[in-house]
């Protein structure tokens, strides 16, 4: 898989936190929707990772090169 899904799993919550920090405090409903959206996106990436996991393969999976 050339999608670098492990990096996405790390950086999606960071991006969500940065978006939330940029929002005004009085927009509580917007903050909740942004948090739920980024959490849902991370859940989708986790499901994709789980579905592509090969339990019969011995060795590292989903490796990324720096």
pLDDT range class, residue 1, cuts 50, 70, 90: low
Reported as a single tens digit per residue, the pLDDT across 12-61 is 999 999 999 999 999 999 999 999 999 999 999 999 999 999 999 998 98
Cα–chain center distance at 51:
15
The predicted model scores a pTM of 0.84
* pLDDT confidence tier of residue 2, bands split at 50, 70 and 90: low
Integer Cα distance of 33 and 29 in angstroms: 6
Structure tokens at 1: 């898989």
Q: Rounded CA gap, 26 and 41, in Å? A: 24
């Amino acid at each position: 898989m050339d999608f670098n899904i492990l990096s996405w799993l790390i950086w999606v919550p960071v991006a969500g936190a940065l978006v939330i920090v940029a929002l005004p405090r009085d927009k509580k409903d917007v903050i909740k929707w942004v948090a739920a959206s980024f959490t849902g996106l991370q859940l989708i990436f986790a499901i994709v990772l789980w579905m592509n996991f090969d339990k019969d393969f011995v060795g590292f999976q989903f490796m990324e090169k720096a």
